[in-house]
Amino acid sequence: MGILTASVRDRLRTELRGRVLLPEDPGWDDARRAWQLLVDQRPVAVIEAAGVDDVVATVLTARRAGLGVAPQATGHAAGAVGGLTDAILLRTDALTDVTIDADAGVARVGAGARWSAVVAAADSAGFAVVAGMSPTVGAVGFSLGGGLGWLGRSHGLASGRLRAIEGVDARGRTVRADVAENPELLWAARGGVVPLIVTAIEIDLQRVPHMQAGSLLWPLERAADVAHAWREWIATVPDSVTSLARVLRFPPLEVFPEAMRGRAFVGVEVAIQEADADALLTPLRALRPEIDTVRTMSPAELGTVHGDPVDPAPAHGEAIVLSEISAPAIDALVGAVASEQADAVLSVELRHLGGRLASGGFDGAVSGIAGEGLVMAVGIVPVPEALPAVRAGTASIIDRLRPFASERLVKTFAERPVAPEALYGEALTRLREIGERWDPDGLIRAAHGVRSPRVLD
């Protein structure tokens, strides 16, 4: 097993603009901490890159020391990378430049930029981007993982908007990939695994009008009525409507509004790109929601709808793709969230897929999602003793839905390593060939890599 000695660390400190830390250094625990606080990352060293030159130096140093390199910006997907005991954790969160080329309709986004910064920059120029529902997620990692957001049914996966990637390969060379130069790397990056440390991407900008978006909430006792009404409603809406049904349990904490504190709700969250949004919502509003926050907003405000945590959190989640959102599937979901085991689960959501999410329409390793719905169950683990109950709760929900499951999973919703066949399907063989050609030694470590089919707990 390779090591990074103190002498190498000290030499790097003179060469790099970013910080270099070993386990004995002050600030080590903060440097290795991921957004997902349940993941205990223990790399050989942490390097906080200040620029592309630092990334190159890290790769060259790792090769000499017999180590891997695991690039990471926010660490939302840290649990899917695997062990780092023989790798350097390369933090890219300082690479935050966002540049808008309005004439070309393209944004160049640094590896550390979060969606909040990208959507704000695009909005200021009169554009939108195919972003995630959480403004704190890294834009690059989200896009490379496929990317499922509020514009999904109308615009497809975020990876389909990738125009180019820039990065450093396993030999320390800077590389650009687009449709003309290294096109196989661009293909792999679109929803697959690219054997590069990506330092920036270029994405297409979109023209999206102001829309209606927000949440409708009812007391949890209405779950069956609301969920079935939503199921019937989504069969009638155009692809310009993206929505999800959700169960939320709010802890009795002052951080939540008083009307929600200590209560459980069933809800529908929507983003509608239609002038007659109010008319489309009539069937749902006829159910008389207790809370209705749907309003006109710009695409830049969509990050407020889903209410994801703004700070790192200890959370445990599991997901499954449903082949169909059928009446029996809804019955199973309602029964699952009503069970005693589910009391430990904070949020259970069922996203409506289809539209451009199914058809893809671009050349990439993963161009669409084979299923009509995606279920994600998440619980917060404030203390270690709470983890068994949260695990049991999320597992019970997913298990009840397995009779309705697709064979495929969605990369950005798989929080731990899974069999790559479930993520990449028929693209797996080509992804492995590209990986062997560009990184035969497996130096670059990524979430849901393709080198081994072994499933890890």
Give the model confidence (pLDDT) of 248-276 as tens digits.
998 887 777 788 888 999 999 999 999 89
pLDDT of residue 158: 96
Write out the residue limits of the CATH 3.30.465.10 domain(s) in the chain.
98-207
**CA-wise closest residue to 189 among 441, 443, 411, 4:** 411
pLDDT of residue 92: 97
Rounded to whole angstroms, how far apart are CA atoms 106 and 204? Answer: 5
**CA-wise closest residue to 267 among 212, 336, 213, 218:** 218
**Residue pair 105/204 in contact by the 8 Å Cβ criterion:** yes
User: Which of the four CATH numbers 3.40.50.10680, 3.30.465.10, 3.30.70.980, 3.40.50.1820 does domain 98-207 have?
Assistant: 3.30.465.10
Place of tokens 């060939």: 433
Write out the residue limits of the CATH 3.30.43.10 domain(s) in the chain.
6-91
CATH code of domain 6-91: 3.30.43.10
pLDDT of residue 128: 96
Residue 67 has pLDDT above 90, yes or no: yes
Residue 196 has pLDDT above 60, yes or no: yes
Rounded to whole angstroms, how far apart are CA atoms 281 and 300? Answer: 22
Least confident of 202-206, 239-243, 313-317, 447-451: 447-451
**Residue pair 420/411 in contact by the 8 Å Cβ criterion:** no
pLDDT of residue 2: 66
Average pLDDT taken over every residue of the chain:
94
Write out the residue limits of the CATH 3.40.462.20 domain(s) in the chain.
211-413
pLDDT of residue 258: 83
Residue 457 has pLDDT above 60, yes or no: no
Residue 214 has pLDDT above 70, yes or no: yes
pLDDT of residue 9: 81
The CATH class, in words, for 211-413 is alpha beta
pLDDT of residue 453: 40
**Residue 173 burial by CB count (10 A; 0-12/13-18/19+): exposed, middle or buried?**
exposed
- Rounded to 10 degrees, the C-alpha dihedral 399/405/406/409 comes to -30
pLDDT of residue 327: 98
- Rounded to 10 degrees, the C-alpha dihedral 226/227/231/237 comes to 50
Residue 455 has pLDDT above 60, yes or no: no
Q: State mean pLDDT over 4-31.
A: 91
pLDDT of residue 261: 86
pLDDT of residue 254: 79
pLDDT of residue 360: 76
